[in-house]
Amino acid sequence: MSVARPRGRPRSFHDKTDQNMVQSLDRALLILRTLSESSGLTLTELAQESGNSVPTVYRALTTLQSHGFAEVEEPGQLWHVGGGAFRVGSAFLRRTKIVDRARQPMDRLMRLTGETANLGVEHRDQVLFLAQVETHEAIRAFFPPGTLGAMHVSGIGKALLAWMPPARVAEIVGQGNLARFTAQSHADLASLSADLERTRARGYAIDDQERAEGMRCVAAPIFNAHGEPVAGLSISGPTFRVDLGQTDRLGALVCAAADEVTIATGGVSPKDRR
Average pLDDT taken over every residue of the chain? 87
What does the DSSP 8-state code read for residue 44? H
Mean pLDDT, to the nearest integer, of 121-149?
87
Q: Write down the pLDDT at residue 202.
A: 94
Residue 120 within any structural domain of the chain:
yes
Contact 253, 108 (CB under 8 A): no
Residues 42 and 74 in one domain: yes
Confidence at 3, pLDDT banded by 50, 70, 90: very low
Q: Write down the pLDDT at residue 2.
A: 46
Mean pLDDT, to the nearest integer, of 108-134?
94
d(CA 28, CA 4): 34
Query: Which region, left, alpha or beta, applies to residue 230 given φ > 0 means left and ψ of -120 to 50 means alpha?
Result: alpha
Kindly state the greatest CA–CA separation across the chain.
Answer: 71
Contact 70, 81 (CB under 8 A): yes
Residues 120 and 50 in one domain: no
Residues 57 and 134 in one domain: no
Mean pLDDT, to the nearest integer, of 24-37?
89
Domain containing 117: what range? 96-264
Is residue 104 classed as helix, strand or coil in its secondary structure?
helix
Residues 54 and 112 in one domain: no
Is residue 154 classed as helix, strand or coil in its secondary structure?
coil
User: Which of the listed residues 87, 109, 135 is the one where a domain comes to its end?
Assistant: 87
**pTM above threshold 0.75:** no
d(CA 44, CA 189): 39
Residues 137 and 73 in one domain: no
Does the pLDDT of residue 44 top 90, yes or no? yes
Confidence at 77, pLDDT banded by 50, 70, 90: confident
Confidence at 5, pLDDT banded by 50, 70, 90: very low
